Structure 1
């Protein structure tokens, strides 16, 4: 978790640091990165970096979490655009991702998450009953008449869906699929979920 000195920075400065961290970590593991490279990009002293983050791993965990939150919210937004057609909303999100420019910040965020280890990307956020994201999610489930009985089940289903999306995007990237191959594979997964395999 970043230190309060980082969390209390003005938004433009924090966003600049976020971009530097994303550009640094999206295609390298923590072990390949040097603090000196980051502080050079940030145009600050090494000491300033340690006022913001405990260490490199802390900075890495922070940017993974930021990208994860952004992408989770975007998936929910796409589903919301197709309120009563849940799986079509996800498909539209995948179509959007499959046409991104590979030098865009959003694409780099996807690469970061598909290359980050499973424990970091799937670590559950603390979503209590008053969380806007959770309330929005439960409303989407109700609109689609999904039978989800309790909040914990709704959260579990959220992470199950996010795993399907990230798994699909990982397959798309690793296998160098076309957008059509990505969507075909996604259709298989959704057929298994909605109709079973018998």
Structure 2
């Protein structure tokens, strides 16, 4: 998490730093990203960087978190729009994710995040722990889902969310890597969602 000195900066300065970081993490994977490039683009001294962030990982996780907030909020909105239909909300969200990928910088940034994820980073950004700072988003999603047709236990609900997350991002990856069209990814995604939905109803 950034230090208070970062949040005390003028908004324009914070945006410069964030844009510089996003550009660098879009250019290369996390391990290859250079603090020197970020501070040069943001026009700040190296010493100032460490007044704002603990290290490169601190900044990277913050960027992932900000993107995660946007995505959680979006998914919650889709759940509200569909009266808690988890699978319809997932389909809307998948379309939204593909639309994000229409912009080259977004596409590179999202792709590099996924490719950079090791187990330690996954633990820091996964909201399935009560101790996680984004857990309230996860709870908000759970509260808006209509489970009446599925009769799931709590641990099964957690697994279902993990399965849907994997299905969404796994099927978006070929498009973000330029290996498939949006239409092809959408067709595969919808096919897999139908299988998951059918399995849940058969076990209901």
TM range (shorter): 0.7 to 0.9
2:23–2:105 contact (8 Å) kept in structure 1: no
Task: Give the secondary-structure state (helix, strand or coil) at the position aligned to 1:71.
Answer: helix
Structure 1 residue 163 corresponds to structure 2 residue 166: yes
1:28 shift after superposition: 0.8
Aligned to 2:140: 136
| 1:17-166 mapped onto 2 (5 Å cutoff) | 17-100=17-100, 101-103=102-104, 105=106, 107-119=107-119, 120-121=121-122, 123-125=125-127, 126-127=129-130, 132-142=136-146, 145-150=149-154, 154-166=157-169
Aligned to 1:172: 175
Choose 141-150 or 43-52, whichever is displaced more.
Answer: 141-150
1:141–1:148 contact (8 Å) kept in structure 2: no
Distance 2:141 2:171 in 1: 21
1:3–1:51 contact (8 Å) kept in structure 2: yes
Aligned to 2:187: 184
1:39–1:45 contact (8 Å) kept in structure 2: yes
* 1:23/1:16 CA distance change after superposition, 3 Å: same
For structure 2, list consecutive stretches of 5 or more residues without a partner in the other structure. none
* TM-score relative to the length of structure 2: 0.76
Higher relative contact order (CA 8 A, sep 6+): 2
Distance 1:168 1:87 in 2: 15
For structure 1, list consecutive stretches of 5 or more residues without a partner in the other structure. none
* 1:76/1:109 CA distance change after superposition, 3 Å: farther
* 1:116/1:85 CA distance change after superposition, 3 Å: same
Structure 1 residue 3 corresponds to structure 2 residue 3: yes
Choose 115-124 or 15-24, whichever is displaced more.
Answer: 115-124
